[in-house]
Structure 1
Amino acid sequence: MTTTPSLSRTDWTLILSLALLTFVLGTSEFVIVGILPDIADGLSISIATAGTLVSAFAITFAIGTPLTMSFTSHLPKRKLMLTLTAAFIVFNLFSSLAPTYGILLVLRMMTAVVTGVLISLAMLVASESVPTGKRGIAVSFIFGGFTMANVFGVPLGTFIGQRTGWETTFLLTTTLGVIAFFAVYRVVPSQLTSVKTSIADQLRLLTNPRILIAFFIPAFGFGATYVVYTYLVPILKGVLGVPVAWISPILFAYGFISIFSNMAAGKIASHNPIGRLRFVFLIQALVLAALYVTTSNVTLGLINIALMSFMAILLTTSTQIYLIDLAEKFNPDAKGLASSLMPVASNVGIGMGSALGGLVYANAPVMTLALVAGAVALVTALLTAVSHQLDQR
Structure 2
Amino acid sequence: MKKYAYTGALGFLAIITTEFGIIGILPQIAEHYQIGIDKAGYLLGGFALAIALTGPFMTLLLSGFDRKKVMMTAIFIFLLTGIVSSFSPPFWLLMLVRILPAFLQPVYIATALSVAVSQGNKRNENELMSIVFSGVAIAMVTTVPFATYIANIFSWEYSFIVQAIISIVALLAIHFVLPAMPVRAKKSYGSQLKILKKPMFIVSTLMNFFMIAAWFSTYSYFADYLNKAKDMDGTMVSYMLFVFGIIGVFANWTAGKLLNKNITHTTVFFLSGTIIVPILLHFSGGNTMATILVIVLWGFLYSPSFLNASTYMISSAPEAMEFANSLATSFGNLGVTLGTTVGGLIIVSKGVQFTPWITVLFGMLAFFMIGLRSRLEKKPA
TM-score over 0.5 for the pair:
yes
Larger radius of gyration: 1
8 Å contact 1:16–1:141 — kept in the other structure? yes
1:390/1:94 CA distance change after superposition, 3 Å: same
Instruction: Provide the residue aligned with 2:206 in structure 1.
Output: 216
Instruction: Find the partner of 2:34 among 31, 46, 50.
Output: 46
8 Å contact 2:14–2:75 — kept in the other structure? no
Instruction: Provide the residue aligned with 2:362 in structure 1.
Output: 376
1:58/1:243 CA distance change after superposition, 3 Å: closer
Is 1:137 matched with 2:127?
Answer: yes
The 5 Å alignment of 1:113-132 reads: 113-132=103-122
Whole-Å separation in 2 of the counterparts to 1:299 and 1:171: 33
Whole-Å separation in 2 of the counterparts to 1:375 and 1:298: 26
Whole-Å separation in 2 of the counterparts to 1:321 and 1:189: 26
Q: Give the 3-state SS of the residue equivalent to 1:196 in structure 2.
A: coil
How many Å apart are 1:319 and its aligned residue?
2.9
Whole-Å separation in 2 of the counterparts to 1:106 and 1:374: 32
Q: Which moved more, 1:91-100 or 1:309-318?
A: 91-100
1:194/1:271 CA distance change after superposition, 3 Å: farther
What TM-score, normalized by structure 1, do the two folds share?
0.80
Whole-Å separation in 2 of the counterparts to 1:157 and 1:243: 16
Whole-Å separation in 2 of the counterparts to 1:288 and 1:281: 12
Q: Give the 3-state SS of the residue equivalent to 2:142 in structure 1.
A: helix
Is 1:343 matched with 2:333?
Answer: no
Q: Give the 3-state SS of the residue equivalent to 1:326 in structure 2.
A: coil
| One-letter amino acid of the structure 2 residue matched with residue 76 of structure 1 | D
| One-letter amino acid of the structure 2 residue matched with residue 322 of structure 1 | Y
Instruction: Provide the residue aligned with 1:286 in structure 2.
Output: 276
Listed one character per residue, the Cα deviations across residues 284-337 of structure 1 (whole Å, up to 9, x for unaligned) are 423433444343755444423322221113443333233234333xxx3x4322
1:91/1:368 CA distance change after superposition, 3 Å: closer
Instruction: Find the partner of 1:326 among 316, 330, 349.
Output: 316
8 Å contact 2:212–2:332 — kept in the other structure? yes
How many Å apart are 1:170 and its aligned residue?
4.3
Whole-Å separation in 2 of the counterparts to 1:384 and 1:196: 32
How many Å apart are 1:236 and its aligned residue?
4.2
8 Å contact 1:221–1:380 — kept in the other structure? yes
How many Å apart are 1:22 and its aligned residue?
0.8
Instruction: Provide the residue aligned with 2:164 in structure 1.
Output: 174
Whole-Å separation in 2 of the counterparts to 1:50 and 1:240: 21
Segments of structure 2 that go 5 or more residues without pairing to the other structure are none
Whole-Å separation in 2 of the counterparts to 1:289 and 1:39: 30
Is 1:316 matched with 2:306?
Answer: yes
1:84/1:302 CA distance change after superposition, 3 Å: closer
Whole-Å separation in 2 of the counterparts to 1:204 and 1:373: 32
8 Å contact 1:237–1:243 — kept in the other structure? yes
8 Å contact 1:360–1:366 — kept in the other structure? yes
Whole-Å separation in 2 of the counterparts to 1:69 and 1:298: 44
1:75/1:273 CA distance change after superposition, 3 Å: same
How many Å apart are 1:273 and its aligned residue?
0.8
Is 1:105 matched with 2:91?
Answer: no
Instruction: Find the partner of 1:228 among 193, 218, 233.
Output: 218
Whole-Å separation in 2 of the counterparts to 1:173 and 1:239: 28
Whole-Å separation in 2 of the counterparts to 1:162 and 1:237: 13
8 Å contact 1:222–1:349 — kept in the other structure? yes
Listed one character per residue, the Cα deviations across residues 103-136 of structure 1 (whole Å, up to 9, x for unaligned) are 4433322211123321221122223222222122
Q: Give the 3-state SS of the residue equivalent to 1:270 in structure 2.
A: helix
Instruction: Find the partner of 2:58 among 50, 53, 68.
Output: 68
8 Å contact 1:81–1:121 — kept in the other structure? yes
8 Å contact 1:265–1:315 — kept in the other structure? no
How many Å apart are 1:256 and its aligned residue?
2.3
What TM-score, normalized by structure 2, do the two folds share?
0.82
1:288/1:172 CA distance change after superposition, 3 Å: closer
Instruction: Find the partner of 2:239 among 241, 249, 263.
Output: 249
8 Å contact 2:45–2:341 — kept in the other structure? no
Percent identical pairs in the alignment equals 25
1:353/1:87 CA distance change after superposition, 3 Å: closer
1:294/1:154 CA distance change after superposition, 3 Å: closer
Is 1:356 matched with 2:342?
Answer: yes
* RMSD, aligned CA: 3.4
Listed one character per residue, the Cα deviations across residues 52-94 of structure 1 (whole Å, up to 9, x for unaligned) are 4333222112212221001111223223223333444445445
Whole-Å separation in 2 of the counterparts to 1:374 and 1:326: 25
8 Å contact 2:195–2:201 — kept in the other structure? yes
Instruction: Provide the residue aligned with 2:139 in structure 1.
Output: 149
1:249/1:322 CA distance change after superposition, 3 Å: closer
| One-letter amino acid of the structure 1 residue matched with residue 374 of structure 2 | H
